[in-house]
Chains A and B, each alone.
Chain A
Amino acid sequence: MIFPGLILALELSGQHDEDLAGRLQRREPDAMKDLYDRFGKLAYSVVLAIVRDASIAEDLVQETFLRVWNRIQAFEPGRGALGPWLVAIARNRAIDHVRSSSSKMDRNAFELDVREHPALFVDMQREVENTDHARIIRAAIKKLNPNQQKVIELAYYEGLSQTEMAERMGQPRGTIKTWVRAALGVLREELGQAAAA
């Protein structure tokens, strides 16, 4: 399940984001090649894991890169984390596709727009670079109990709201919220400890 190559791509991103974002902002076509070479596989893997259809995944990844290209002017080259931003957009596209396919489209465009704003991805690499994320995330997930693992899986791969998870798992919403918070707390703590080490 672990994907060291993907994490490596994220880690490396901090070293090159500033230069690459600047080239994208100057509309250098070769910058798009470099952006794809750096994050294309990662974005495709995330999208494919969610939509489980290679053809649809291609379309959504293409849409992701076009969105990054169109919104790059809002990115702060000195502070932003290009990889996490791009992956978040890719995942949002995939979750939206799955949800619209199953008639669960209830997120409004405004909220999605806010969640993809580059300002939310600044200073991220300071916390993530120079750490072995593959090992950390694997170890962190192993520390979750089965219920916590399940809610993280439903959240990340299906984008179910906590109310929907409660229905799916036959549990009170409060219990689901507790599991989600606890799971994210463990992951955050493990990542924080690694960054501090």
Chain B
Amino acid sequence: MTCEELRGEYGAWALGIADEPERSEIAAHLARECPECTAGVRSAMVTAAALSGAVTEGNPPRRLRRRIVSMVERKPKRSFAWLPWAVSAALAIALVSIAIPGRRDTQALLTQQQDMTKLKQALSILNDPAARDVTFGDPAALGRVFVSSTGVVLIAAHLPKIQDNQTFELWLLPGSGDPKPAGTFRGETISNSSSAVYVYQGSTATAVAVAVTVEPEGGSPQPTTTPFIVSKL
């Protein structure tokens, strides 16, 4: 199409509402730096931009600024050297078990798929440039928690011993209101130390801290014991 045929659609294109074929045609003219269409669309962009002044004012939460600034802050390169060797070993075992050929039985395949899914979920959260990470450590447990907007990866060692009818439960603590349950998990005992790598997928938008408690098997809707891990984000 010619520039003259497209001229009447510059405004619609600037707003993103032009129909085909004009939409693609204008994009193509701009891509090849057509001077007439570029000037016309630039002018139309002024009008489109001005419409933002008619928008109702919203108040972004303060954490949004932190999230955005943290994306580009220079941080020391994440190193996993700090990981207790037991947790590293647990991860290695999980990865090896995924890779072992010949494990054909259904349960093993299911476990491998679950491990792989868990690994992908964890990597997705760890690779989020906006993910916050907090190290925690006290006599009860030590480790690190990574929190993105879409989930949590908790890596912990020296977990307390629990009974067979008990479980660990992760909680997202909002600024106000009740803790939000974020799933249960159990540790793996390696060399007399209980460790865990737990991945929670879900929104963390309101969380200002995460916590872990010991709960009856199956978990609780609200904590019934004092948290042995509390990490402020």
Contact flags (1/0) for A19-45 with B, using CB distance below 8 Å?
Answer: 000000001010011001100111011
User: Are B53 and A120 in touch, CB under 8 angstroms?
Assistant: no
Instruction: Specify the chain A residue showing the minimal Cβ separation from B60.
Output: A44
B163, CB-defined interface residue at 8 Å: no
Of A29, A37, A55, A155, which one neighbours B15 at CB under 8 angstroms? A155
What is the distance, in angstroms, from A137's C-beta to the closest C-beta of chain B?
4
How far is the CB of A34 from the nearest CB of chain B, in Å? 10
Among B17-25, B110-118, B218-226, the stretch that binds chain A is B17-25
Instruction: Contact check, B31 vs A133: say whether CB atoms are below 8 A apart.
Output: no
A180 to B64, CA, bound (A): 35
Q: How far is the CB of B76 from chain A (nearest CB, A)?
A: 14
Known contacts A58-B61, A181-B11; A115/B51 CB under 8 A:
no
Contact B50 A191 (CB under 8 A): yes
Q: Which residues of A contact B13 (CB under 8 A)?
A: 115
What is the interface of chain B mostly: helix, strand, loop, or mixed? Answer: helix
Interface residues on B, range: 35 or more
- The secondary structure that dominates the A interface is helix
- B4 shortest CB reach to chain A, Å: 15
Please indicate the chain B residues that have their CB under 8 angstroms from the CB of A2 in the complex: 53-54
Residue interface bits A111-142, CB-to-B below 8 A is 1, else 0:
10011010111111001100001101110010
Distance (whole angstroms) from the CB of A1 to the closest CB of chain B: 6
How many of chain A's residues touch chain B, expressed as a range? 35 or more
Docked pose: A118 CA to B58 CA in angstroms = 26
Is the pair B17, A29 in contact by a Cβ cutoff of 8 Å? no
B65, CB-defined interface residue at 8 Å: yes
CB-contact partner of B67 in A33, A62, A69, under 8 A: A62
With A58-B149, A120-B30 known as contacts, the answer to whether A1 contacts B56 (CB < 8 A) is yes
Residues of B within 8 A of A (CB): 8, 11-19, 23-24, 27, 30-31, 38, 41-61, 64-65, 67-69, 71-74, 129-130, 149, 203, 205
